Amino acid sequence: MSLGFIAVASTADVLSFTRRPRFSLPPHHHLDRSPLLNRLTLTLTPRSTLAAKNRFPLYKECFPSPWRPRAVLGDGGGLEWQQDAGATALVVAGAYALVSAFDSLTGRNLIQQISTSTGARYFASIVPFVNCLRLLIYGLSLAKDEGLVNSVTREGKPEELLRGPLYYVLMLILSAMFFWRDSPVGVIAVSMMCGGDGIADIIGRRFGSVKLPYNHRKSWAGSISMFVFGFLVSIGMLYYFSSLGYFELNWNNTIQRVAFVSLVATLVESLPITGKVDDNISVPLASMVAAYLSFGL
């Protein structure tokens, strides 16, 4: 597991978190009224605003609500699809550019590759470890970073950083330290967590109208995309690392084994245990066990 792959994986799961609609003042609502009216307008809650409109019909005509959503989730206008597609393209392009730049610099000997020594894995683990410390600091509200909180949480609460996002980087550290780049187990586990579970969440929220019979919080669309993308990303990363000479694989057997691991990870991800065990823990751990047994390492 190269340093570039760990760096990319540290940021790849941002897309899997739900966006919240942003609200802003329309252009015609500048605060140029008297201080009293400005204070009244900005302090009214949505409920009290509605009550005022019902009790005073002229209020709606004289003082229309200053809050207007820029985008409404699920409005069917195609805005969500375009935003998801654009964000996905940017992340993929950025990840590819990061890895390409890293490989180019190492090829020119401007920077050195991580060595093959035993301690190299611990140095590579510094990348997700720094992110782990960052999540702890902001998750415990020792410092504030609204940009970080809004980008990787569903409800915009700092304490959410101590759950899914923190588990995510901990799994990266575990994979790097125990399996490193000379074992397909860690590569598959990270690929299932990033490519499989991450894409499944996006597809499931967008097209997941048909739910699983044993878990109504999961959908057929999400589970199918979990299996397909987990399999494809794992095969792609295994091919990448094998082409660099880190391990040799019999591809006929490897495809079958990766399909088995993808099936196990998909089944685990679909179970109604999210309230007890986070997917960022259950999916990579199940993938590690299945890959370890399947590859006979």
How confident is the model over 199-213, as pLDDT tens digits? Answer: 998 899 889 899 999
Q: Is the pLDDT of residue 166 over 60?
A: yes
Give me the residue spans of the domains in the chain.
3-20+73-295, 23-69
Euclidean distance between CA atoms 132 and 149, whole angstroms: 14
Residues comprising the chain, all counted: 297
pLDDT digits (tens, 9 = 90+) for 96-131: 676 666 566 555 554 455 555 667 788 888 888 999
pTM (2 d.p.)? 0.65
- pLDDT greater at residue 75 or residue 205: 205
> Which residues are within 8 A (CB) of 107 and not within 5 positions of it... i.e. 6 or more apart?
none
User: Which amino acid is present at 241?
Assistant: F
Those residues whose C-beta lies under 8 Å from the C-beta of residue 98, and which sit 6 or more positions away, are 4, 7, 8
| Secondary structure (3-state) at 63 | coil
Model confidence at 225, in pLDDT bands (50, 70, 90)? very high
Sole residue written with tokens 């992110």: 131
Instruction: Summarize pLDDT for 18-66 with one digit per residue, the tens.
Output: 444 433 444 444 444 444 444 434 444 444 444 444 444 444 444 444 4
- Three-class HEC string of 238-252: HHHHHHCCCCCCCHH
CB 28 within 8 A of CB 203: no
**Distance (Å, rounded) from C-alpha 254 to C-alpha 103?**
26
The upper half-sphere exposure of residue 182, i.e. CA atoms within 13 Å in the direction of its Cβ, equals: 9
- Please say whether the beta carbons of 26 and 213 come within 8 A: no
pLDDT range class, residue 2, cuts 50, 70, 90 = low
Task: Show the DSSP H helices in the chain as ranges.
Answer: 3-9, 35-43, 46-55, 57-62, 79-107, 120-124, 126-139, 146-152, 164-178, 184-191, 198-207, 220-243, 251-270, 279-295
Helix (H, G, I), strand (E, B) or coil at 31: coil
> What is the pLDDT at residue 97?
72
Both tokens of 134, joined, read 């960052």
Q: Supply φ then ψ for residue 212, to 5 degrees.
A: -70, 145
Continuous segment of H or E residues that includes residue 69:
strand 68-69
Q: Which of 81, 90, 288, 98 is nearest to 202 (CA)?
A: 81
| pLDDT of the residue at 62 | 47
Tokens 């980087």 belong to residue: 169
pLDDT of residue 85: 72
Above 90 in pLDDT, residue 142? yes
When pLDDT is averaged across residues 263-289 and rounded to a whole number, the result is 92
